[in-house]
Amino acid sequence: MAARDRYSRKLECAMCGNSGYAEVSEDDMPTRKDPDFKIDALPIGFLTERPSKYPDRHMIRCRCGHIFKFQQKTVYAEGGEPRRR
């Protein structure tokens, strides 16, 4: 089984201000055809609207109904930045 890179990323709704940190993971094999992006845990008030194996295509729905891309900003939890090789 391939190893996975794990990190936290802040989600923030532009409509109501709801925010929290999502725990996510990606395959760390650079030769893989896609990163196999997965959300392992979402903060309260957020749901996956449209899943994707790519973080820039994964859509999130806030409890207020606002839908936005998971990768809307580059705001990470302290020490939670993805590893780069």
In the prediction, which pLDDT does 43 show? 96
Whether residue 22 contacts residue 42, with contact meaning beta carbons closer than 8 Å, is answered with: yes
In the prediction, which pLDDT does 34 show? 87
Per-residue pLDDT of the chain (85 residues), as tens digits, is 568 889 999 999 999 999 999 999 998 887 888 889 999 999 999 999 999 999 989 999 999 999 999 986 545 555 555 554 4
Count of residues in the chain: 85
Running DSSP on this structure, what letter comes out for residue 14? T
Say if residue 42 is exposed, middle or buried (CB neighbours under 10 Å; 0-12, 13-18, 19+): middle
Among 38, 41, 12, 44, CA closest to 25: 38
This prediction has a pTM of 0.76
Cα–Cα distance for residue pair 50/16, rounded to 1 Å:
20
